Amino acid sequence: MPQGTPSTVPDDGLTTRQRRNRALVVVHTGEMKGKSTAAFGMALRAWNQGWPIGVFQFVKSAKWRVGEETALRALGDVHAQSGAGGPVSWHKMGAGWSWTRRQGTDTDHAADALEGWQQIKRDLAAETYRFYVLDEFTYPMDWGWVDVDDVVATLRDRPGQQHVVITGRRAAPALVEAADLVVQMTKVKHPMDAGQKGQRGIEW
């Protein structure tokens, strides 16, 4: 499979193989849909490599099981039963809610988000997973519930080969600067512009 040719080769003392296999911090941000979808697509690739996957879902309703959750949980079951792929763990931070900020108090949500981040820090320190999806994690940082500098420092100093993908709008500049790969989702057209709401099989 083609690997691509880098535009520059840094003088960092690493071999091509070492540089290729460095763990990445990936950020999917921007106002358009597709950020989480792209992250879960990467998780499918990670599962195929047999990597342990940890999904930490912030600010979406705990009662709302998105299609990706159902699919990845099923793949986790496949691994448990046959050994194919990798194990999958799915964590919902607190009661869950949407980015429109409904349900509960800010104090409750801030505490849930901070505890979620503390658990992620413990898992990173223990190298629990090889691939992390921190879904909609930009919002707790944007609202001041999780310290951006702490996130950046923790990701910078994480041990081993742990890839981390963070999704959500308004990614902090410091996070963008620290990441290895940043995608900005920009809207060109959207069905809602013509009055069409989300539908099964497309949005969930």
Q: What is the pLDDT of residues 2-19, one digit of tens each?
A: 566 777 777 777 788 877
- The domain tally of the chain equals 1
Report if residue 201 sits inside a domain.
Answer: no
Report if residue 110 sits inside a domain.
Answer: yes
CB environment 91-124: b (16+ within 10 A), e (fewer): ebbbebbeeeeeeeeeeebbebbeebbeebeebb
DSSP state of 12: S
pLDDT for res 60: 61
pLDDT beyond 60 at 99: no
Give the whole-angstrom CA distance, residue 81 versus residue 160. Answer: 27
Looking up tokens 């009662």 gives 63
Report if residue 59 sits inside a domain.
Answer: yes
The CATH number assigned to the domain holding 98 equals 3.40.50.300
Can you give the pTM of this predicted structure? 0.89
pLDDT for res 65: 65
Report if residue 65 sits inside a domain.
Answer: yes
Report if residue 202 sits inside a domain.
Answer: no
Report if residue 198 sits inside a domain.
Answer: no
Task: Look up residue 62 and give its two tokens.
Answer: 């705990």
Give the whole-angstrom CA distance, residue 200 versus residue 198. Answer: 7
Q: Which residues lie closer than 8 Å to 34 by C-beta, 6 or more apart?
A: 28, 185
Report if residue 182 sits inside a domain.
Answer: yes
What's the mean pLDDT in 76-98? 85
Q: How much of the chain, in percent, has pLDDT values that exceed 70?
A: 88
83: containing domain: 21-187
Report if residue 10 sits inside a domain.
Answer: no
What's the mean pLDDT in 66-75? 90
Q: What is the DSSP pairing of strand 25-30 with strand 181-185? A: parallel
Looking up tokens 């919002």 gives 139
Question: 56 pairs with which residues across the strands?
Answer: 91, 134
What's the mean pLDDT in 166-175? 97
What's the mean pLDDT in 165-173? 97
pLDDT for res 204: 77
